[in-house]
Amino acid sequence: MSLLVYVNGQLLPKDKACISVFDHGFLYGDGIFEGIRVYKGGIFKLKEHIDRLYRSAKIINLEIPLDKDDLQEDVIRTVRANGLKEGYIRLVVTRGVGDMGLDPRKCERPSIVIIVVPMPRYLGKPLRVIISSTRRMPYQCLPPHAKTLNYLNNILAKIEAISAGVDEAIMLDLNGYVAEATGENVFIVKYGVLMTPPITAPILAGITRESIIDMSKELGIPVVERQLTIDELYTADEIFLCGTASEIRPVIEVDGRIVGNGKTGPITEKLIKHFDEYIQRYLTPVYG
Ligand SMILES: Cc1ncc(COP(=O)(O)O)c(C=O)c1O
């Protein structure tokens, strides 16, 4: 069966699912999105993702033409129509069709697209990373809490990782403190304490990051949110990245330096083991 894609309220076969070339999402990256996982026929933290989408919309001054409940229902409907039990949802809202100018007032109605695809699990799969020379965009330029369609900053860092022959890049902020990876938040472990950059750093307020903090409390692992330096990355006992697509992935090498003993560390392992049980408690059922 061909994939069905939701475009502005209609479910269309993949090859018929189109938006205009005059859409400002296409022309200018003017829009917002969410990436959401489907596990065992349920949607993980759907409400949290919908809430973040509306926060992103508010930051970029875009009014989503549906209320939260209706949009949530449309996401569920799209997953159900595709019979997806395990996979990934991409929910995109753009400024809509306008003209060649930047003026968003020319865009009458935002476009909404929902794509669902199968996606393998990455939980526990190790990564080698570099610290990229591309710095994370500061608040003063583009609020990082808005998950916008502008990912070029992250893509440039990703290109550096690819050129260096590793899997991922960790980006620093303009002051040289650790920010985040190109599509994941960063955690390190030192002396048994889990540490991650604070929410005031130029990072996305990751839903998996929040889940990690939550799980750590359940497991009695101390967590500190504070600025992290490059040398703390180099000398960390453990490092992992986390995000919706990546889930929890141990970092075994940074800039050619082996992390810990080069294997998944004990605290990372504990969180990975706990993750599937944790997920179960936050699934919105799709199939009744
Ligand atoms: C830049 C960036 N940081 C962090 C994350 C992790 O966020 P979440 O756990 O909500 O997927 C993502 C994933 O979308 C991201 O794109």
Same domain, 97 and 146: no
Report how far residue 110's alpha carbon sits from residue 54's, in angstroms, rounded to the nearest whole number: 13
Same domain, 23 and 164: no
Residue 128 has a pLDDT of 98
Last residue of a domain, one of 98, 117, 136: 117
- Does the structure show a pLDDT above 80 at 1? no
Same domain, 111 and 137: no
State how many domains the chain has: 2
204 CA from centroid of ligand 1 (Å): 6
Asked whether the CA dihedral 255, 258, 263, 265 is positive or negative, the reply is: negative
State which of 44, 45, 204, 241 you would mutate to test the pocket of ligand 1, scoring each by most atoms of that ligand within 8 A of its C-beta: 204
Same domain, 58 and 133: no
Could you tell me if residue 233 is inside a domain? yes
Q: Determine if ligand 1 sits within 6 Å of the CB of residue 35.
A: yes
Contacts 24+ apart (CB under 8 A), 151-154: 151/29, 152/29, 154/182, 154/183
Last residue of a domain, one of 73, 99, 117: 117
- Does the structure show a pLDDT above 80 at 210? yes
Could you tell me if residue 288 is inside a domain? no
Could you tell me if residue 158 is inside a domain? yes
Last residue of a domain, one of 117, 138, 172: 117
106 CA from centroid of ligand 1 (Å): 30
Could you tell me if residue 251 is inside a domain? yes
**Arithmetic mean of pLDDT, 50-70:** 98
Residue 134 has a pLDDT of 97
**Arithmetic mean of pLDDT, 193-211:** 98
100 CA from centroid of ligand 1 (Å): 30
40 CA from centroid of ligand 1 (Å): 22
Could you tell me if residue 92 is inside a domain? yes
Which CATH number fits the domain that encloses residue 57? Answer: 3.30.470.10
**Arithmetic mean of pLDDT, 103-112:** 97
Q: What percentage of the chain reaches a pLDDT higher than 70?
A: 100
**Arithmetic mean of pLDDT, 258-270:** 97
211 CA from centroid of ligand 1 (Å): 12
Q: Determine if ligand 1 sits within 6 Å of the CB of residue 183.
A: yes
Q: Determine if ligand 1 sits within 6 Å of the CB of residue 239.
A: no
Report how far residue 253's alpha carbon sits from residue 86's, in angstroms, rounded to the nearest whole number: 30
Q: Determine if ligand 1 sits within 6 Å of the CB of residue 138.
A: no
Mean pLDDT of the chain: 97
Same domain, 173 and 92: no
Same domain, 139 and 259: yes
- Enumerate the β-bridge partners of residue 12: 5
Which CATH number fits the domain that encloses residue 171? Answer: 3.20.10.10
State which of 32, 48, 184 you would mutate to test the pocket of ligand 1, scoring each by most atoms of that ligand within 8 A of its C-beta: 184
Same domain, 45 and 171: no
Same domain, 25 and 156: no
Residue 3 has a pLDDT of 95
Nearest CA residue ID for atom 7, ligand 1:
206
Nearest CA residue ID for atom 14, ligand 1:
183
Could you tell me if residue 287 is inside a domain? no
Same domain, 77 and 156: no
Residue 288 has a pLDDT of 80
- Does the structure show a pLDDT above 80 at 102? yes
**Arithmetic mean of pLDDT, 212-227:** 98
Find the DSSP H helices in 220-265: 230-234
Is residue 14 among the annotated active site residues? no
Report how far residue 66's alpha carbon sits from residue 146's, in angstroms, rounded to the nearest whole number: 19
Same domain, 106 and 166: no
Residue 177 has a pLDDT of 98
Same domain, 12 and 41: yes
Nearest CA residue ID for atom 2, ligand 1:
183
Q: Which domain holds residue 240?
A: 127-280
Report how far residue 195's alpha carbon sits from residue 51's, in angstroms, rounded to the nearest whole number: 26
Residue 229 has a pLDDT of 98
**Arithmetic mean of pLDDT, 146-159:** 97
**Arithmetic mean of pLDDT, 176-199:** 98
Q: Determine if ligand 1 sits within 6 Å of the CB of residue 154.
A: yes
Could you tell me if residue 13 is inside a domain? yes
Residue 218 has a pLDDT of 97
Could you tell me if residue 17 is inside a domain? yes
**Arithmetic mean of pLDDT, 225-253:** 98
Same domain, 272 and 132: yes
- Does the structure show a pLDDT above 80 at 115? yes
Residue 2 has a pLDDT of 84
- In terms of Cα–Cα distance, which of 177, 164, 153, 155 is closest to 129? 164
Residue 11 has a pLDDT of 98
State which of 244, 246, 278 you would mutate to test the pocket of ligand 1, scoring each by most atoms of that ligand within 8 A of its C-beta: 244
99 CA from centroid of ligand 1 (Å): 31
